[in-house]
Chain A
Amino acid sequence: MLTDQERELETLDIHVNVGPQHPATHGVFRMVLTVSGEKVVDVVPHIGYMHRGAEKLSEGMDYRQALIYQDRTEYLAQFNAELCYCLAVEKLAGLEVPERAEYIRVILTELNRITSHYMFVGAFATDIGVYGTAFTYAFREREYIQEIFDAVSGDRMMYGYFRPGGVVWDVTDDFKDRVRWVCGQTRVGIDDIDRLLTKNEIFLTRCLDIGVISKEDAIDYGLSGPMLRACGLPFDLRRAEPYSIYDRFQFDIPTGTRGDVYDRYLVRMEEMRQSVRIVEQALEEMPDGPIMPEKAPRRLRLPPGEVYMRTENPRGEYGIYLVSKGGEKPYRLKIRSSCLSNLTALKQMVVGHYVADAVVILGSVDIVLGEVDR
């Protein structure tokens, strides 16, 4: 039994509610931290604030229309999500994609990986406490690529440019020149951010050995993408199960050694450089020709069956499980979210660290809430 005086002096852990409206939660994520002083004792994540029922809504759309929900789900790597959906539909429909369309898709998808990682670097640096400088650096570079997307698809965010079977219209005439220029610019831009952050002493002290997760745990949690590769596993779906035309390109798979926040940052920086390499190779080989199959049906009807397609998105393995019972609409469309799986390891990574580290670790997971909640 505690005496009255002891009870008065007893220290209690306090609960701090971070989110859903907090500068560091990257959208509408909410985590309830139990803190003892500055140390995190427990964390309870709450998701679902951005649930819009994209999967269910897709069931009411035909296969062409359902594509737009991919943009709205994964709103930072839209082309990657569109590609995964298109590949799933094509696999079930048995559609042959023309060469030119494949190359256009790969170029745009890899450029989108770069913009997504730029977004990560900017937001991550802001989480660590840079006063927006890394953010503006990253966004300037991102903007060059964004302009290409705008020119090609006619939209800055919700592209809706890929179609099952190819792409909706051909790219602009100056596409090759612009992409070539952007590749050079991106190399410079990555180096700029590199010089600003990578070897900064404060950045290192904040990142090294924070949020470490072991290789075995990473597999158990089902982590994927840079989170997994930072642990030292060279697992990249572009290499492991090459889809589209990824088996034609030369690129490295960067892996970390310790699986901490710093490794995740480094892996993403290196992935951007590798994406530039892929884009440059694809530009060299890009043929002329049609962008949709000759005999593309005007109304796409899929045979009954089911298919699971997974692609390597900037945040990890993005999967589409598609069930068709015949007809124009999907019977069921399930999205395997990479961020949701990555987020499950949050508690293991955060507990025991400081409050400030919790924010940094959350930033290093690089979540897109649209994709987590769907």
Chain B
Amino acid sequence: MSALESFFDNVWVDALWRLLAVLGLMVIVVLALTYVERKFIARIQMRLGPMRTGPYGIMQPIADMVKILLKEDLRPASADRIAFELAPFLAFVPVFLTLLALPFTAKWDVRVLDLGLLYFIAVSGLTVLGYVFAGWASDNKYALIGALRTAAQLISYEVPLVLAVLALSMLAGSLNLVDIVEKQGRVPFIVWQPLGFFLFMAAAVSDLSRRPFDVAAAESEVAGGPWIEFSGIRWSILYALTEYTNMFALCVLGSLIFLGGWDWPLGLKWGWWWQLALIFTKTSVLILVVMWVNATFPRIRVDQLMSLCWKLLLPLAFVQIFLNGLILVYGWPDWTFLLTSGLGLAAAGYIIYSVIPVGAPSRIVARSNA
């Protein structure tokens, strides 16, 4: 064994370089996602997006970063200093911690935990603390309203998220992410759990505070919510780093547990580059879906947000768990998962579309002079 290898086998060195690798990954992800989001939404909105900095504006994230770093870091005189300065880190650290438990291929990971799924959900739930701190410390009414909204929203939507994941782990029989991926084999869990996937994505979008669930930051109502008083690097940590890393982490999780991770499709064992390509593709698809929804949907009101969570998503999550339990206990064939969960999803769609009276064309009366 060479000296170099023994150096890397040292526990502390090992931990350090893995942490640095995750940090590097995160920086790349955030830079890439800011660019992708701006370009992608620009396409949807028939704009060009950034075009000036480098070919097709690919240097724009760098320019943004430099600008943000150079900006004055303002703190309102009446702000609660300690909480104000702590808030960005309280929001950011949990998101960073979630990345530590995610495997990207069968071998590439920081630590594979036996309770990886539970760890992910538990840790990512802590982000809300940072937002509440930020909202309270800013001494700003918009920030306070925004923070209260965030607190209510994130805590509520954590419940269907946990339950949807729980229903899935019943199928997998494990909370270890690597095990869950291997278990999916030829059929990814999205096929057996369409309702679970819908619940997961709805809760994830809400967790990310993106439209249609972005009541916390609601530009047109509370003008940025908890972030309103933050500027410069603090704003960047609290908003950009946290949001984009969180988006990335949740979409990686979704592609691992619902889309078959690095195994599906074809079950080819071509090596790490193939696995990485699969994960990358699936994560990108999920991220683009989140951005697409973000670009086209209006925002729902805060009370509607709550009733959607507690009156629709939560019962449906229980239904999903109940159905899975029923099928597992009686040992019914696999296709019953698809049948029951699909019916559940159809019911969800029916409820959403029938609760609201639609009378668009008939409500206008035209009076002609002919």
Q: Which residues of A approach B to under 8 Å, CB–CB? A: 14-17, 22-24, 35, 38, 125-133, 135-137, 140, 196-206, 208, 232, 234, 239, 250-258, 262-263, 266-267, 270, 354-357, 359
Contact = CB atoms under 8 A, between A and B. Distances in A.
A136 B301 contact: no
Nearest to B362: A257
Contacts, number: 141
Interface of B: 41, 44-47, 141-142, 145, 211-212, 214-215, 218-223, 294-304, 352-353, 356-358, 360, 363-370
B171 to A, nearest CB: 30
30 contacts: A14-B141, A22-B223, A38-B145, A125-B298, A129-B211, A129-B212, A129-B219, A129-B220, A129-B297, A129-B298, A130-B299, A131-B295, A133-B41, A135-B45, A140-B46, A201-B353, A202-B212, A234-B367, A250-B369, A252-B368, A253-B366, A257-B365, A266-B363, A267-B364, A270-B364, A354-B301, A354-B303, A356-B299, A357-B301, A359-B220
A-B pairs with lowest CB-CB distance, top 4: A129-B299, A252-B366, A136-B45, A24-B220
Contact of A253 (B211, B356, B367): B367
A18 B353 CA distance: 34
A130 B301 contact: no
B368 A251 contact: yes
Given A133-B296, A356-B215, A252 B356 contact: no
Contact of B300 (A24, A205, A258): A205
Nearest to A260: B363
A356 B302 contact: yes
B181 to A, nearest CB: 33
A53 to B, nearest CB: 31
Given A16-B141, A200-B297, A359 B366 contact: no
Given A255-B366, A255-B367, 20 more contacts: A15-B141, A17-B141, A129-B212, A132-B45, A133-B296, A199-B358, A200-B298, A205-B304, A232-B365, A250-B368, A253-B367, A254-B365, A255-B365, A256-B364, A257-B364, A263-B363, A354-B301, A355-B221, A356-B221, A356-B302
B211 A131 contact: yes
A255 B295 contact: no
A202 B363 contact: no
Given A131-B41, A201-B353, A359 B221 contact: yes
Given A252-B368, A254-B364, A23 B219 contact: yes
B48 to A, nearest CB: 11
B50 to A, nearest CB: 15
Nearest to B220: A24
Contact of B298 (A130, A199, A254): A130
B296 A266 contact: no
A35 B302 CA distance: 14
